Amino acid sequence: MGLLLLVRHGQASFGADDYDVLSPDGVTQSWRLAAALLDQGVKPSALRHGALRRQRETAYQLTLAAGWTVAEDVDPRWDEFDHLAVMGAYPVLPPEQRERLESGALDRREFQEIFEKATTRWAAGTHDADYAETFAAFTKRVRDALSEAARLAGPGETAVVVSSGGPIAAACAMLTGVADNPRRLSAAWRRLNAVMVNSSVTRVVIGSSGARLLTFNEHTHLGGQLVTYR
């Protein structure tokens, strides 16, 4: 059997001019994960990441800290969905909240409240005309990316993919067998996405019967103080 590790990127720079950069804690999280994977004897035969900077930087920090020599490759299908566009399409935002969203001035509590309401609307699939990428299109690209990544993990090999909370949660929801029911897929995705920890690792076993979810959202390498969700 092969093993596919789905790694969520380290903490990004919430509230900064450029969100898509690892924060200092995000770098530390990546190094903590690298140390844990080294202790487990992980030597990937393939390393893939999405096209976003925070994903690329996490892959780089893992490689640097672990001393991996494997070449990296990029698959944009592992990119996060455009959460700002999804939040911006939420129709009942008061003007002052919409202004703070567009300027990046929302605090974490306010951001999370709007995020949850907006993504629930997006994932329901009942207002698809409001979005450049629908939830159905998002899950389809993740399904295709997961299928291709699974082929990288041959018998006795380990492949690592660095992505984001949304795509990893979608992959896990599909691996639980709810993909044939849009409402169940949407509900499973929202529950899983809500608890994804930065630099967590999810393990998928690849065997003759296909891909099977082994563990989800492992983050014991962080202890308590470094656990973050955004």
Residue 229 falls inside a structural domain: no
Tens digit of each residue's pLDDT (9 = 90 or more) over 91-133: 988 888 888 888 778 888 888 899 999 999 999 999 999 999 9
127 and 76 within one domain: no
142 and 217 within one domain: yes
161 and 125 within one domain: no
69 and 139 within one domain: yes
Give, in order, the Cα–Cα distances in Å from 176 to each of 55, 104, 167, 192.
Answer: 25, 35, 14, 11
217 and 139 within one domain: yes
Domain interval for residue 46: 2-81+133-222
Residue 178 sits in a domain whose CATH number is: 3.40.50.1240
Measure the CA dihedral 108/110/112/116, to 10°.
Answer: -170
Provide the number of structural domains found in the chain: 2
Residue 227 falls inside a structural domain: no
Residue 211 falls inside a structural domain: yes
For the chain, report the end-to-end CA distance as a whole number of angstroms.
33
Residue 22 falls inside a structural domain: yes
Q: Which amino acid is at 29?
A: Q
Q: Tens digit of pLDDT per residue, the chain (230 long)?
A: 999 999 999 999 876 667 789 999 999 999 999 999 999 999 999 999 999 999 999 999 999 999 999 999 999 999 999 999 999 999 988 888 888 888 778 888 888 899 999 999 999 999 999 999 999 999 999 999 999 999 999 999 999 999 999 999 999 999 998 878 899 999 999 999 999 999 999 999 999 889 999 999 999 999 988 999 88
* Boundary-marking domain end, from 70, 105, 132: 132
Q: How many CA atoms lie within 13 A of 189 on its CB side?
A: 28
Residue 63 falls inside a structural domain: yes
Q: Which two tokens stand for residue 98?
A: 């919409």
In this prediction the pTM is 0.94
138 and 217 within one domain: yes
Q: Which two tokens stand for residue 51?
A: 């096209």
* Boundary-marking domain end, from 132, 159, 194: 132
Q: Which two tokens stand for residue 23?
A: 């924060």
154 and 75 within one domain: yes
Mean pLDDT, the chain, integer: 94
64 and 51 within one domain: yes
Tell me how far apart the alpha carbons of residues 201 and 122 are, in angstroms, rounded to a whole number.
26
103 and 62 within one domain: no
76 and 186 within one domain: yes
Rg (Cα) of the chain, in Å, rounded? 17
**CA 98 to chain CA centroid, nearest Å:** 25
Residue 230 falls inside a structural domain: no
* Boundary-marking domain end, from 111, 132, 153: 132
110 and 9 within one domain: no
161 and 100 within one domain: no
